[in-house]
Structure 1
Amino acid sequence: MNFESLNIWCWIIPALVGIISGVLGYLIGKSKNASVVDTSIDVKKLEAENTKLKTDLAACNKKVSTKDTKEKPANIASSLTANEPTTQVFDATEAKAAMGKRIKEDDLKIVEGIGPKIEGLFHNFNIKTWKALSEASTIKCQEVLDSGGDRYRIHDPASWPMQAKMAYEGQWKDLSKWQIKHKAGKF
């Protein structure tokens, strides 16, 4: 056996081992049933819940608009001018009965997601009442949160004006039900 024939085997043997290893690896990988997670059921459930929530929102908006027109009969509505604000009377007893705890008027902490520090941020922006918060846009609420720094980034203020409106209008049972259903953002 000469030196040249030995040199050829030094190339052929590793090449054959590589090819055989590649083919075996492919076959073993293909033979394993790689499980693909089927999330279509979860997506369908979420789409159904989203549709239900949209329907509930439309019903609530209709109820609110109907309630507004019912609360202002023609003779009273005609006597109001643009300069005369309507005022809601706060009923602490009714609030306590529905919410299960004592409620102070215009306490922003009654809104799910707002604690003492976030309430302080809103006060810095001169949003100190339920009415003022109910009239604030979600963008304004996010601006208030952003003013507190990165630590408030996890909060989602999308529902805060709606909750404040329920509190301002004295819809304590509805607010309580909503908060129970959406406790800490979890459904």
Structure 2
Amino acid sequence: MFELNPLLHENAWWQHLIMFVGAGVLGYIIGYRSGESKSFLQNQLSNLQSQLESCKASLVKSTTPITTSAISTPALAHTYNTVTEHPDDLKKIEGIGPKIEELLNQNGILTFVQLSQASTHLLKQVLQEAGPRFQMHDPSTWPRQAELASAGKWQELKDWQDILNKGKE
């Protein structure tokens, strides 16, 4: 009924022409639709970026800006009014590993007392400045854990850490 071989039918060229035109129209429609999708996605991306910038601007207005000098070692040591001879093992805090301990030490947090006095906002800022590898960590329980450790309440700390999941409640 519908043979595509032109050798079998003398007038089969029109069938090839119809298939060629149909393929061209279909290709044009697909290409046009994907172009629409690209422009739609680009508009959506620019809207999301503008929303992100406005959120960042409102966050900066609502919080006290922390500069790099505010996180440096002398500033933290001055803020906490503690002179430390020997740093504590901050890895005893659930959620803090060797790299985060090193990062905190570089930013002047060497003892449990200093960590207990640090605000969660400051700790998050330190983690964010360290890069995406550290941004996933949640320091919200670290000051309370450090407070228990500095007070020598090791059993209470251990009981609470058994409940925590990687430092998160």
For the aligned pair, the TM-score class normalised by the smaller chain equals 0.3 to 0.5
